[in-house]
Chains A and B, each alone.
Chain A
């Protein structure tokens, strides 16, 4: 039975009961006999008709405010009518969502509006994006408040410490060595260290090992993945530079109007300086190097990279595929008929996560270690612990014992078998 009808029935039933009791009252002279009143239930006939307060029932005041969010229609839509319509819709939706108590940010920049336009057909992605922006704002607020609290405490402590500080320059006191006191050494500034590192990179440019990073995957990544990619490029570049024998990283297939370069210019303000050793081109890697030398590193192939070959030039794809997992780098290598290789992860690590792909900075650090002569067990320490369940070998010697080397006989056998198969398929 419908719940509404049953409730109604109940309501009407006891109202009749109430009426009947009225007629049952028998008055007596001296009676402490109380009037048989029915219990006062919550459900009663609507009080609106009874109560005198609500006179003007029909008139309500409505909020006539403009939409809360300001959108710069000109820059985003550039006169396109459809886009303007879509933008207005999105504006409406976000307005309503903020009034309903959903997780929506209070400020949205033009770039974020552009991104929201792309999500117009995908509701869940839009909601997720807005939730992310909201979370960022809220965390900032909380962080500010916490900082304010901590600041007051810090100032108190500082005031206390000043009273307790000892005086330094007295003849009888011993010489204090340390920060703010005496030192033996001349101060080394950050710029000096930077110059040293940059010089090393320039050396790598002239003489040293090169490595390519392929940036052609921009159109396949979402905004979130692209920003992650940019951050990984930054980390990769800095970790490489810190090494005593760094790679020369060349970014090829870089889109000059694209998202990645724009963000990188923000992170590296000196990107276009002639002194700065950040190398990038919009050319393809096939134009830069002959096909024989190139090796594409993908986690989707079957050939394993056992040793670092200094004659080969390795390509790493700048692809972050957290949202969609497609073997794009594999497809690319197949199309260009390049050699492929993957890290020997299965041999050295018990992998805990699903997909065996690593971030760009981790890749570069591993390659650097392997190039500089360390073994794979040492190199794989750069892989974060959350991805690993266990390390298989603590010692390189143990690993070598169990290795199945591909012998000449094995290669011959494989070749023979493939020939037999091809013949049989032709006969069929």
Chain B
């Protein structure tokens, strides 16, 4: 549908300016939509859901709805499914975002309107929590309270979910709480503790937040322990507890809980860093401690936090001061601001051995060795590698051979492989070629490999070659490179813990050589791997280089060089 494309382009980038365009477009095409009622449902739902996610003003949405249907409002259409639910959400969002106070009649009207949509998700059972959830998103404590009183006056009872969500709401708006709220929160917390013997992730989250507001951290920690036995808590709970501990001054515990949050989701909330910085503004050691912790866990900060850091470091006393600026890194790792090079990649040997083991066990052999290879082939492979190790380069023969496409002639394939092997033998030393058995049919391949005295191993046509390449490269030591154009995204799937993933990515980026072009004469043009680390790192002067993300930037799979860094390296 054309509409979807336009929505994607315009709603993401030029929202309000292009609203007029969208409405004009839809209005002119509304004739075609008028006759297909199911299509209008779809479009209404699409438009609403798409714009809601980007928090557009509701007036726009209402106007769009009328444009789409060609009639005034959607009341006349019988909506089902997604369209109905999004309509309900829009009504709620409208109501809560535009006002701070509401009377009983207004609440009544809203709820009747929402429940009139029979086929939407929101029904009698779950409307209370949905209202409070919307209040959490908009951070409106007063409205939430108001809704509770409304429920009381009607005579509705609170169920467990509304209670926990209200506690979450109180936590979100914890700076504007009153004493009356606190008594109410104690009552709610008591009730939850009595009613629910076990806690699941969501209710436990609300409980812990409530306990933290009441400054009862010990109980919160106890509950966390019981929760951990039965289910996996959200990373938010861990970070909330870490914040509370930090505000009390217990640094070690705070960092422990933060690290367990990072294991689940590789992200540190900005608030944690900002509170740390504001507490320890004048203590250079403690600021360094924070950055060390982030360095260990390979985290990138946001721009806001970096600005605070800059300010904090520059206001320290003169002997401990650090001055710097936001800058850019070039291809070789040279910082714009301080004109120094970033640190080289250093992989710990112990961790590296552990990685190698996991690859052998989980990827090559796996649950069943016949999935990837067979035992005889596996034995042969291990024997050859142990005999002739260490290598300097490991070459993926298939990938290199098919660089010109799979439909070229076999001469082309063998030429490509032979020229790469020659090149790496001249420049680097001892290469190792891994290919498949059908490559034996490529003319002159075996003979030229014998002449050059290069070691090779050919796998059965059925087996996967990626794990073999990785294992042989790792077995030969930390210094071996490998040559493919393959990014090994599939192999990363087998690594489960965050630390292993980080290690593997670091190893891959620093040891993978890409071939950009192989000339007919045999000359090979390569792209060298990235030799410098892309984490928060400490320089020789005990300064810091910090990579940062822009606000609201979506973190993709970063394969290239991270360009934006904060440099805190100068002493004056």
Q: Which residues of A contact B (CB under 8 A)?
A: 3-5, 8, 42-43, 46-48, 54, 57-58, 60-65, 85-86, 88-89, 92-93, 95-101, 103, 123, 142, 300-302, 326-328, 330-332, 334-335, 413-414, 417-418, 420-421, 424-425, 428
Contacts and interface: CB of A to CB of B under 8 A. Distances in A.
A313 to B, nearest CB: 22
Given A89-B198, A100-B133, A334 B374 contact: yes
A88 B180 contact: no
Contact of A428 (B160, B173, B188, B388): B388
B75 interface: no
Contacts of B198: 85, 88-89, 92
Contact of B175 (A8, A54, A99): A8
Contact of B384 (A8, A85, A428): A428
B318 interface: no
B159 A99 contact: yes
A44 to B, nearest CB: 8
Given A58-B183, A103-B121, A425 B384 contact: yes
Interface stretch (B343-351, B455-463, B526-534): B455-463
A270 B161 CA distance: 49
B200 A96 contact: yes
Nearest to A106: B125
A105 to B, nearest CB: 13
A63 B126 contact: no
B100 A85 contact: no
Interface string B184-207: 100110010001101111110000
B158 interface: yes
B298 interface: no
A89 B184 contact: no
B300 to A, nearest CB: 22
Interface of B: 80, 99-101, 119, 121-122, 125-130, 133, 139, 142, 145, 148-149, 152, 157-165, 173, 175-176, 178, 180, 183-184, 187-188, 191, 195-196, 198-203, 230-232, 368, 370-371, 374, 380, 384, 387-388, 437, 440-441, 446, 450, 455, 457-458, 461-462
A259 to B, nearest CB: 21
Contact of A58 (B175, B187, B440): B187
B101 A4 contact: no
A5 B175 contact: yes
A408 B100 CA distance: 87
A43 B202 contact: no
Contacts of B461: 302
B261 to A, nearest CB: 16
Contacts of B80: 142
A327 B165 CA distance: 46
A60 B176 contact: no
Contacts of B230: 85-86, 89
A417 B437 CA distance: 10
Contact of B441 (A43, A47, A101, A414): A414
Contacts of A8: 175-176
B444 to A, nearest CB: 13
A42 B100 contact: yes
Given A335-B370, A418-B440, A61 B158 contact: yes
Contact of A332 (B125, B139, B175, B370): B370
A421 B440 contact: yes
A100 B126 contact: yes
24 contacts: A46-B178, A48-B180, A58-B184, A58-B187, A60-B152, A61-B157, A61-B158, A63-B159, A63-B160, A64-B157, A64-B195, A86-B230, A93-B200, A95-B160, A96-B161, A100-B126, A100-B129, A100-B130, A100-B165, A418-B437, A420-B440, A424-B450, A428-B387, A428-B388
Given A89-B200, A92-B198, A46 B446 contact: no
Contacts of A93: 200-202, 231
A101 B129 CA distance: 8
Contacts of A3: 139
A-B interface, 9 closest residue pairs, ranked by CB to CB distance from nearest: A331-B370, A99-B161, A101-B126, A42-B100, A63-B157, A63-B159, A93-B200, A417-B440, A100-B129
Contacts of A335: 370
B153 to A, nearest CB: 8
B148 A60 contact: yes
Given A4-B139, A8-B175, A428-B455, 8 more contacts: A4-B175, A46-B178, A60-B158, A63-B160, A89-B231, A100-B133, A328-B371, A424-B446
A378 B434 CA distance: 41
A92 B200 contact: yes
Contacts of B199: 92
A88 B388 CA distance: 58
A343 to B, nearest CB: 16
B122 A99 contact: no
A99 B457 CA distance: 60
Contacts of B441: 413-414, 417
A98 B162 CA distance: 11
Contacts of A330: 370-371, 462
Nearest to A86: B230
Contacts of A64: 157, 195
A101 B122 contact: yes
Contacts of A97: 202
B202 A421 contact: no
Contacts of B133: 100-101
A332 B374 CA distance: 11
Given A48-B180, A420-B446, A61 B125 contact: no
B92 to A, nearest CB: 11
Contacts of A428: 384, 387-388, 455
Contacts of B380: 425
Nearest to B230: A89
Contacts of A47: 101
A100 B158 contact: no
B462 A301 contact: yes
A44 B230 CA distance: 45
Contacts of A327: 371, 462
A55 to B, nearest CB: 11
Contacts of B159: 62-63, 65, 99
B160 A54 contact: no
A58 B149 CA distance: 10
Chain A CB within 10 Å — which of B119, B139, B160 has the most?
B160
B496 to A, nearest CB: 12
Chain B CB within 10 Å — which of A57, A58, A99 has the most?
A99
A57 B201 CA distance: 29
A407 to B, nearest CB: 14
Contacts of B157: 61-64
Contacts of B202: 93, 96-97, 100
Contacts of B162: 99
A95 B161 CA distance: 9
Given A42-B101, A334-B370, A100 B455 contact: no
A296 B176 CA distance: 71
Contacts of B145: 48
Contacts of A100: 126, 129-130, 133, 161, 165, 202
A326 B371 contact: yes
A363 B321 CA distance: 74
A300 B148 contact: no
A302 B133 CA distance: 56
Contact of A60 (B127, B161, B187, B231): B187
Contacts of B384: 425, 428
A413 B410 CA distance: 16
Contacts of B196: 92
A301 B148 CA distance: 65
A255 B501 CA distance: 39
A92 B462 contact: no
B191 A62 contact: yes
B368 A331 contact: yes
A57 B149 CA distance: 8
A420 B162 CA distance: 75
Given A60-B148, A327-B371, A421-B446, A99 B183 contact: no
